[in-house]
Structure 1
């Protein structure tokens, strides 16, 4: 078994770590304040490390599960300096959501070090992470991906190989602007319906049995009907970040992005108003407030 290191044992990373160590891999993790409680991981044999450099020097595969591009860059080539500590032949697996152009630039620096880079962005929720049932959107060299496929399968139900390095992050941004954008649209429509006195049970039933049915509706519906946001514990701040990444990717490629910009602007206005820490379904309530100002 390879030695596996992970940086970022948060809502998603904890589930990844728990499945890796629980299925027999030797696991090491960065001990930092942003982690979820890790006593259960230690009890199963995982080893905490005080710094990213110490961790990186003692693992064959380094998994990153941090917020986004600035954090990935900081861990590898900034304050974390993990890249400098990696041993030749090590593999970096970036499970974060990141800007593809940055991913490709970092991958080149990793290769110069004599190591390999795979982007393996995640979809689904912390619940599926704990169950070992994430979807992974993967980019990288085929041979490298196959070397770590058993590791990825320890915490993923579905693995979609999108192409070369950076393509996993491309696919994640496409997925998120569609899925989170749909959630935002449903929330806005529900807010209008509630304000206009519509029967929300009838509305949800109609949407479910028509063209609006699907995963996005099912994650928002419990909040519309019962005020329960547990099925999508993803913050507006994070959604705004991802929408911004998509906007940058589309701008760099010269693609049209008018609808995506409207989603980005709505999320940004909520963040600007101080609602960034709320979960995405809570937009149903937040969008009933005074009109949003464009950020």
Structure 2
């Protein structure tokens, strides 16, 4: 019987905890690097994971390392730093980066890592922390055929849908396209709610008419559950992360020589919300922020709409 790969995981937060838990439950030995939030770390240690203090230590022990971080600068630091992955990497190590990252950075890192005998796999995520805990995330994978074949059984522990898009960088490009569309929807929904409320319609009427129509979708449901339904945890994705992603989209469009005026409009909404201190709020709250910019109190409009039901 083949020996199970030793898996490392850095970034056991909202998404990473569930992913790491499912790797453990898939029968793989797991090494994690802790952070200031000890609750998910202690949870995983209680399930049988072991902890290291540096990425270097992890690289010295592991066959595959997962990263689930916030942005490309964090990924670059954890790979290139003095106690980073490359400092302790063994030949054949595979790094699976599930961060929503800048593809330009990803491909540059992949070239650098290859000189050390390390393989990069970009496998950004679709869906939410709920699906991370359930092991049913969507994975968009950029990797060589050889690396993909080796890590696919591990990815299957936390993913319900795996698409091998192409070579390294393709996964991160696809994820940015997905998030560009999602945050564009968020911006349009928010403007539509402001127009509706200031025109005398209730937020509930917009939700109830649109949801069962051809315009309804999963993102519509979670966004409106937060923006109108009052569920603060309906869509756990921070405005700061959304703002970062649409900035990466702008960079990607520039690199491809494509004009991106829709992206600029979306980016301005999210950058402005982040600039006034709302970066840690979840994305559905952008509707209330845009309503404020339009002189409209969306929570009050929701309350008024409830009294009219």
TM norm structure 2: 0.91
| Runs of 4+ that moved beyond 3 A | none
Aligned-residue RMSD, C-alpha? 1.5
| 1:264 matches 2:271 | no
**Which of 103, 121, 137 is the aligned partner of 1:100?**
103
Distance 1:245 1:80 in 2: 27
1:217-242 deviation digits (Å, cap 9, x = unpaired): 10112134322132211111110000
Q: Which ranges in structure 2 are unaligned for 5 or more consecutive residues?
A: 296-309
Output aligned runs, 1:11-90, within 5 Å.
Answer: 11-34=14-37, 36-90=39-93
Output aligned runs, 1:95-244, within 5 Å.
Answer: 95-244=98-247
Contact 2:140 2:164 in 1 (8 A): yes
Q: Which ranges in structure 1 are unaligned for 5 or more consecutive residues?
A: none
Deviation at 1:79, TM superposition (A): 5.0
Query: Which one is further off, 224-233 or 25-34?
Result: 224-233
Distance 1:34 1:241 in 2: 22
**Which of 5, 8, 18 is the aligned partner of 1:5?**
8
Number of aligned residue pairs: 292
Contact 1:9 1:34 in 2 (8 A): no
Deviation at 1:109, TM superposition (A): 1.2
TM norm structure 1: 0.95
Contact 1:15 1:130 in 2 (8 A): yes
Per the alignment, do residues 35 and 98 of structure 1 end up closer, same or farther by CA in structure 2, a change over 3 Å counting? farther
Larger of the two Rg values belongs to structure: 2
